[in-house]
């Protein structure tokens, strides 16, 4: 959530940033927020003055009674009652204005970093670099949805029977390969200095609001109405919310956490060949990395996180490329996002497997996450997160890129975890 002070002081910068996101009439939007904040301030000032007057009148009653001035005391009581009634009206008005202001702020996305280009959608994202060699496969190459049937390692039909479309069942060596990816990613994250967390996969409304998933504008979150809890779309949400309503010491920064969770997304509006097989699921596994950083060091941390994730892809021997998302494709809460995409040799397309983002103070402002500097002054922190990595498309690429006539070769780095080097 953006701060009103920022919108006042950096109004032109905010307007230009929102234009990159193709937000309609950003100036009107910002002026509306500033107007609401002005009304909030004036109402609060009026209420404070009235409460002070009421307090003074209330104190005078006892003194007047002691002096035997009963008539004046009764007048003071009457005045106090009137002030109390007026103060209640003002308090209700103030609450209404504050709610309107909060709602308006929730509906404004983060301001993109200056390096982010405008762009309308994913076709306008910038390719920053490309790494690795795309494998040459035989003419009889198969996409992963055929390979998993051939080797009986993932069962989509069984998932439909148990839950519905988008909930696959991993079997035999498919399940072992999933577990290998999990342990490999967590072990690598620990080596990089990330502390492992095993968070809940159900969150309350406050947690969803804290990291910006709520209000859920795209209808992608699964909601459990009777307990008013939500299934997490990513481990970023519960892990980052560990620090909701927290004040950290500057000396304790940065905080680096990692966690494995299943993730749940409705993927509303997704259909067609591009979401076939493992390309897009309602339930999938992911290892997430999260950082709480000093504002002066967050972009350095973002680059380090990007390089770390690229290192994982190199170790998995997967060709990949790095993209910087344009304003039209940037996530609601992000100021800058790098996407990592791997080459799927059988599908002959790039598949997104990771996003690493700097949210600057956007989440921290919602979370009330701050730090105290050497002078004991409090400042908002920066939060960052990245997929390190999401399993389905990584698995799809491993299966497709490593297929041979004898079977599917397992990347060397995973063999100590799987206990086998070939799926056949």
Is residue 423 within 8 A of residue 151, CB to CB? The reply is yes
Find out whether 372 is annotated in a ligand binding site: no
Domain architecture of the chain: domains with CATH: 4-106 (1.10.287.40), 122-423 (3.30.930.10)
270 has a pLDDT exceeding 60: no
**Per-residue model confidence (pLDDT) at position 218:** 78
Find out whether 140 is annotated in a ligand binding site: no
Q: Which of the four pLDDT bands, split at 50, 70 and 90, describes residue 153?
A: very high
Find out whether 160 is annotated in a ligand binding site: no
**Per-residue model confidence (pLDDT) at position 72:** 80
d(CA 262, CA 285): 4
**Per-residue model confidence (pLDDT) at position 295:** 98
Q: Which of the four pLDDT bands, split at 50, 70 and 90, describes residue 274?
A: low
Find out whether 385 is annotated in a ligand binding site: yes
Tokens describing residue 236: 């970023």
**Per-residue model confidence (pLDDT) at position 272:** 53
Average pLDDT over residues 65-76: 78
Tokens describing residue 7: 């919108």
314 has a pLDDT exceeding 70: yes
Whole-model pTM: value is: 0.93
273 has a pLDDT exceeding 80: no
363 has a pLDDT exceeding 90: yes
Average pLDDT, the chain: 95
**Per-residue model confidence (pLDDT) at position 138:** 87
Q: Tell me the three state secondary structure of residue 101.
A: helix
Measuring CA to CA, which residue among 100, 120, 142 is closest to residue 23?
120
> CB count, 10 Å around CB of 271?
9
Average pLDDT over residues 263-274: 71
Helix (H) or strand (E) holding 262: strand 255-264
Find out whether 87 is annotated in a ligand binding site: no
Average pLDDT over residues 6-10: 97
Tokens describing residue 77: 């009581």
Q: Which of the four pLDDT bands, split at 50, 70 and 90, describes residue 345?
A: very high
Q: Which of the four pLDDT bands, split at 50, 70 and 90, describes residue 81?
A: confident
Find out whether 275 is annotated in a ligand binding site: no
**Per-residue model confidence (pLDDT) at position 271:** 54
Residue whose pair of structure tokens reads 């063999």 in the numeric block:
415
176 has a pLDDT exceeding 70: yes
Find out whether 56 is annotated in a ligand binding site: no
Cis bond before residue 315 (omega within 30° of 0):
no
Average pLDDT over residues 23-52: 96
Find out whether 267 is annotated in a ligand binding site: yes
């Amino acid at each position: 959530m953006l701060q009103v002070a920022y919108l006042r002081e950096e109004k032109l910068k905010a307007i230009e940033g929102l234009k990159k996101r193709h937000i309609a009439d950003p100036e009107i939007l910002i002026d509306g927020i500033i107007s609401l904040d002005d009304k909030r301030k004036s109402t609060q000032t009026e209420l404070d003055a009235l409460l002070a007057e009421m307090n003074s009148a209330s104190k005078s009653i006892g003194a007047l009674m002691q002096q035997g001035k009963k008539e004046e005391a009764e007048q003071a009581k009457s005045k106090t009652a009137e002030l109390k009634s007026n103060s209640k009206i003002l308090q209700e008005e103030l609450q209404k204005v504050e709610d309107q202001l909060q709602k308006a702020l929730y509906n404004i996305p983060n301001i993109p970093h200056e390096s982010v280009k405008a762009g309308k959608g994913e076709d306008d994202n910038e390719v920053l670099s490309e790494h690795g060699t795309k494998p040459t496969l035989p003419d009889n190459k198969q996409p992963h949805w055929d390979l998993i049937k051939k080797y009986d390692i993932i069962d989509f039909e069984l998932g439909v029977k148990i839950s519905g479309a988008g909930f696959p069942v991993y079997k035999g060596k498919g399940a072992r390969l999933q577990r290998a990816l999990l342990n490999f990613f967590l072990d690598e994250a620990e080596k990089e200095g990330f502390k492992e967390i095993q968070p809940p996969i159900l969150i309350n409304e406050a947690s969803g609001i804290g990291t910006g998933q709520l209000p859920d504008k795209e209808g992608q979150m699964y909601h459990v109405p009777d307990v008013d809890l939500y299934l997490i779309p990513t481990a970023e949400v519960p892990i980052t919310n560990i620090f909701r309503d927290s004040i950290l010491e500057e000396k304790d920064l940065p905080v680096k956490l990692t966690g494995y969770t299943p993730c749940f997304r409705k993927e509303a509006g997704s259909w067609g060949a591009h979401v076939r097989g493992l390309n897009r699921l309602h339930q999938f596994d992911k290892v997430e990395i999260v950082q709480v950083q000093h504002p002066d060091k967050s972009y350095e941390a973002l680059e380090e996180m990007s390089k770390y994730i690229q290192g994982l892809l190199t170790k998995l021997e997967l060709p990949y490329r790095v993209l910087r998302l344009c304003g039209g494709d940037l996530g609601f809460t992000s100021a800058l996002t790098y996407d990592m995409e791997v080459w799927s040799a059988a599908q002959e397309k790039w598949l997104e497997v990771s996003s690493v983002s700097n949210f600057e103070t956007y989440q921290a402002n919602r979370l009330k996450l701050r730090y105290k500097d050497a002078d004991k002054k409090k400042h908002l922190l920066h939060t960052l997160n990245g997929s390190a990595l999401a399993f389905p498309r990584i698995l799809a690429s491993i299966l497709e890129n490593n297929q041979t006539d004898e079977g599917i070769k397992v990347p060397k780095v995973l063999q100590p975890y799987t206990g086998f080097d070939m799926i056949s």
